[in-house]
A = this chain, B = another copy of it.
């Protein structure tokens, strides 16, 4: 165990470089001023960046270094999945304290690289800067896609079916439980919620499988909250949405968390929560194919409603068939409380 200060920057960079393998397409690895990458012609580049900040997006008591790396990878992979693209190359920029254990930094990179590798991507470079206060890790992920084939938020049409992967709300509930219960949140009943927060799954494989079949007209990642994502997709596509309350997937752990936290279930499901899940607009004829593709990929996919021709109207139909407006606040980086 040695701190970054003890080893010095060059040795830290050397250890990080030695602990990873350059992914396919790497012409010059990160030991130069820039990395050089060779893609395939006829493919579009798809790029995104997202950061995790200590104390805000992860709590060191709850996250191993590997888990921080994995979560950062999944946060970015999710944005590439939401475009229906293939992740390829990543660059990691970090601000770390001089006292940081160098082995822990290598472990963080290992978790990051493992999560990238599961989806066919790899780390090609980065930057390390010394900080005094909160540490931060910012990843930029470059993917690619067949030219002109990306999904955006803009292609949905009235009548399209709305499909949702996974169980949004769980990650936010897990974070709330950890903050309010402390170590007691490690009890077995909260495990699916803590896992969603600490060890989320990427939906790249699902998106790639759906992309091969066709039928997805628009997509968005729900990591700022499902309600906010639905609103953004409808705005971008000029449509409205009707969600069917009884079409939602059962989520017993989340229902229990709603009771335990004293919050409405709908606030957990629709409000701010760092779940790296996808909301998809699917043409009606492709519904059953997409359902089968998701099942084959081992990814939960629920059809929760459809899009309407009333731009901006987000409605919820309850079990008795009555419609009312859907209300769901998104997450704001700058709102108080942190």
Contacts and interface: CB of A to CB of B under 8 A. Distances in A.
A207 to B, nearest CB: 11
Given A28-B150, A53-B95, A334-B12, A44 B33 contact: no
Given A28-B152, A333-B128, A41 B38 contact: no
Contact of A51 (B5, B34, B44, B93): B93
Contacts of A108: none
A335 B5 contact: yes
Interface string A39-80: 101101111111101011100000000000000000000111
Interface residues of A, number: 80
A31 B93 CA distance: 23
A136 B147 CA distance: 34
A27 interface: yes
Contacts of A36: 44-47, 83, 85, 145, 150
Interface of A: 3-5, 7-10, 12, 27-28, 31-39, 41-42, 44-51, 53, 55-57, 78-80, 82-83, 85, 89, 91-93, 95, 98, 124-134, 136, 138, 140, 142-143, 145, 147-148, 150, 152-154, 219-221, 236, 330-336, 338
